[in-house]
């Protein structure tokens, strides 16, 4: 037992002390946050860039007054003759264009949009919406429908989905958020199982190639060495995840402290409250777009609060660990059987097939029907459950299923480790022998 501890210690410390470990620990959260910031920045920038000036040649002499410039489009009244303006336009930059509104606009419901290069779809859509609104208003008016009436017939049905739990209580749920979390978990588990599994394999190939294996094996049992390596690298993985959580929380904290000043925060809070009271008093009244987005943000936050993060994180650690133990044992067997990493690929592909399959399915069947037959079965089979069960968990899985799946996972781990250890003890001492499946089967059958 003491020797296993020594092996675990070495495997753990040599990896944690590496510069690459520190680098990934701090870089990965930074990259994620950077990507997040980058996406926001780029979206904002693309909005800025798409801002364009539209010269309106209005033959109706009516529509122009009803067009409101927005942050994307500025409407400029143009009294010049259309042909003349077209000639002028050729000398201007690409962001300028002409909207020609013919006299019979209200009847024909068509306009011409002229620009130097291909028109921006977003701008076109905005112009179309504005014109539609103008026509609609005109028609409402002609039918004698006042703004008052329109306000009162506007409806906005909200569906509050609630799940009935085993104990009969209902909780709010949101499918989109569950989907998002599911996919994130699927990707995270898939990548990390591969990452740490192949680290185990590489470590074993290194020991075999450097021939230190014989020295170590004369001091400890092969099984001790294999388990020590698997556990040591598993702990590296857990450390990495724990550090990522800590670093992300700190970085997010720092970012919100520096980027959002306190006043702004307070302002926002006030706004939210005001809007909420407004919402309560004039329900159904069309609000400005900013109110709507704020409302949806508040909704998302309240929905996020319904997500059971402790359960998800707890299950993540259980199923990641279980999956890691199963797959790293298989990777260990492969590592012991080959002399180089390139030779290993013929074995790693078949053993990781179930993982790959479940990963691919998680974007389709699993996420669309998380409680269907396929998903339920996959979440019980130990080779697929690390991904399948984690995909299902955000949608709510009965506790007994989680427990049964976890138990099966442990049994699966014991089984694969037993097989792997039998191949490993022979494989590590075989040099230069091209391992085939037949050969592996023979090794497996050897008496110790």
Question: Cα–Cα distance between 284 and 348 in angstroms, integer?
Answer: 59
Q: Which is nearer to another protein, 57 or 233 (CB)?
A: 233
Give me the least distance between CB of 333 and another protein, in Å please: 18
Cα separation, 212 vs 135, whole angstroms: 83
**Is residue 14 a contact residue for another protein (CB under 8 A)?**
yes
Considering the complex, state which of residue 179 and residue 216 has its C-beta at the smaller distance from another protein. Answer: 216
Of 149, 215, 254, 356, the one binding another protein (CB under 8 A) is: 215
Out of 250, 403, 429, 441, the residue judged to bind another protein by CB under 8 A: 429
Say whether residue 218 binds another protein (CB under 8 A). Answer: yes
CB nearer another protein, residue 30 or residue 429: 429
Residue 436 in the binding site for another protein (CB under 8 A): no
20 or 281, CB closer to another protein? 20
Rule CB under 8 A: which of 311-330 touch another protein?
Answer: none
Residue 164 interacting with another protein (CB under 8 A): no
Does residue 442 bind another protein (CB under 8 A)? yes
173-181, 204-212, 388-396, 402-410 -> range binding another protein (CB under 8 A): 204-212
* Distance separating alpha carbons of residues 96 and 90, to the nearest angstrom: 10
Query: Which residue number, 141 or 206, has a Cβ lying nearer to another protein?
Result: 206
- Interaction between residue 202 and another protein (CB under 8 A): no
Measured distance CA(116)–CA(114) in Å, rounded = 7
From 177, 183, 220, 279, residue interacting with another protein (rule: CB under 8 A): 220
Between CA 367 and CA 186 the distance in angstroms is 10
Cβ atoms < 10 Å from Cβ of 326: 28
Tell me how far, at minimum, the Cβ of 221 lies from another protein, in Å.
8
Among 214, 264, 286, 308, binds another protein (CB under 8 A): 214
Q: Minimum distance between the CB of residue 210 and another protein, rounded to whole angstroms? A: 4
To another protein, the closest distance from the beta carbon of 217 in angstroms equals 5
In this structure, the dihedral spanned by the alpha carbons of residues 382, 384, 385 and 391, taken in order and rounded to 10 degrees, is: 180
Contact between 158 and another protein by CB under 8 A: the answer reads: no
**Cβ closest to another protein, residue 371 vs residue 434:** 434
CA 432 to CA 430: how far, in whole Å? 7
- Select 66 or 221, whichever has its Cβ closest to another protein: 221
Q: Which stretch binds another protein (CB under 8 A): 3-11, 172-180, 291-299, 378-386?
A: 3-11
Residues paired with residue 73 on neighbouring β-strands, in sequence order: 52
- Interface pick for another protein out of 46, 77, 219, 277 (rule CB under 8 A): 219
Instruction: Look at phi and psi of residue 111 and say left if phi exceeds 0, alpha if psi is from -120 to 50, else beta.
Output: beta
Q: How far is the CB of 39 from another protein (least distance, A)?
A: 38
| Residue closest to 404 by CA, chosen among 322, 336, 297 | 322
Specify the stretch interacting with another protein by CB under 8 A; choose among 118-126, 207-215, 302-310, 343-351: 207-215
434-443: long-range pairs with CB below 8 Å, 24+: 434/343, 435/337, 435/338, 435/343, 435/347, 439/337, 440/333, 440/337, 443/337
What length does the chain have? 448
- For residue 193, CA distances in Å to 158, 238, 289 come to 40, 12, 44
Stretch that binds another protein, among 119-127, 156-164, 213-221, 278-286 (CB under 8 A): 213-221
Per the CB < 8 A criterion, the answer to whether 33 and 248 are in contact is yes
Q: Which is nearer to another protein, 165 or 442 (CB)?
A: 442
CA distances from 26 to 19, 23, 185, 241 (A): 11, 6, 20, 11
Q: Angle at Cα 316 formed by Cα 315 and Cα 321, nearest 5°?
A: 100
10, 151, 154, 165: residue in contact with another protein (rule CB under 8 A): 10
Task: Write down the least CB distance from residue 222 to another protein, Å.
Answer: 8
DSSP string, 290-349: HHHHHHHHHHHHHHHHHS-HHHHHHHHHHHHHHHHHHHHHHHHHHHHH-SSHHHHHHHHH
Residue 23 interacts with another protein (CB under 8 A)?
Answer: no
Interface with another protein (CB under 8 A)? 3, 6-7, 10, 14, 206-207, 209-221, 429, 431, 442, 447-448
């Amino acid at each position: 037992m003491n020797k296993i501890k020594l092996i675990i210690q070495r495997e753990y410390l040599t990896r944690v002390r590496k510069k690459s470990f520190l680098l990934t620990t701090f870089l990965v959260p930074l990259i994620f946050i950077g990507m997040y910031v980058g996406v926001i920045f780029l979206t904002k920038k693309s909005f800025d860039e798409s801002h364009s000036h539209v010269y309106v040649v209005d033959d109706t002499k009516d529509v122009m007054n009803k067009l409101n410039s927005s942050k994307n489009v500025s409407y400029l009244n143009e009294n010049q003759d259309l042909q003349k303006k077209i000639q002028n336009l050729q000398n201007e930059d690409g962001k300028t264009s002409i909207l020609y509104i013919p006299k019979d606009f209200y009847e024909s419901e068509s306009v011409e949009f002229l620009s130097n290069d291909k028109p921006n779809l977003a701008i076109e859509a905005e112009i179309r919406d504005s014109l539609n609104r103008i026509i609609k208003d005109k028609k409402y008016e002609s039918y004698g429908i006042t703004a008052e009436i329109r306000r009162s017939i506007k409806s906005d049905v909200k569906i509050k989905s609630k799940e009935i739990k085993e104990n009969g209580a209902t909780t709010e749920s949101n499918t989109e958020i569950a989907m998002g979390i599911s996919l994130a978990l699927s990707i995270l588990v898939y990548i990390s199982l591969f990452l740490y599994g192949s680290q185990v394999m590489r470590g074993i190939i290194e020991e075999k190639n450097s021939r230190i294996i014989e020295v170590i094996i004369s001091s400890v049992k092969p099984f001790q060495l294999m388990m020590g390596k698997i556990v040591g690298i598993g702990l590296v993985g857990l450390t990495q995840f724990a550090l990522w959580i800590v670093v992300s929380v700190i970085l997010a904290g720092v970012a919100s402290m520096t980027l959002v000043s306190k006043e702004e925060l307070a302002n926002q809070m006030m706004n939210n409250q005001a809007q909420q009271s407004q919402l309560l008093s004039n329900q159904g009244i069309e609000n400005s777009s900013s109110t709507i987005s704020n409302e949806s943000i508040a909704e998302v936050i309240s929905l996020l609060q319904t997500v059971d993060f402790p359960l998800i994180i707890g299950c993540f650690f259980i199923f990641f660990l279980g999956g890691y133990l199963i797959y790293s044992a298989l990777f260990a067997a492969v590592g012991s059987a080959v002399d180089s990493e390139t030779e290993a690929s013929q074995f790693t592909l078949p053993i990781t097939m179930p993982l790959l399959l479940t990963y691919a399915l998680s974007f389709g069947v699993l996420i669309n029907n998380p409680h269907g037959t396929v998903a339920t079965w996959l979440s019980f089979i130990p080779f697929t459950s690390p991904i399948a069960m984690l995909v299902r968990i955000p949608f709510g899985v009965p506790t007994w299923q989680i427990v049964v799946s976890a138990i099966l996972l442990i049994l699966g781990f014991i089984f694969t480790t037993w097989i792997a250890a039998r191949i490993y003890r022979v494989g590590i001492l075989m040099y230069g022998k091209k391992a085939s499946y037949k050969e592996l089967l023979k090794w497996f059958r050897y008496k110790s």
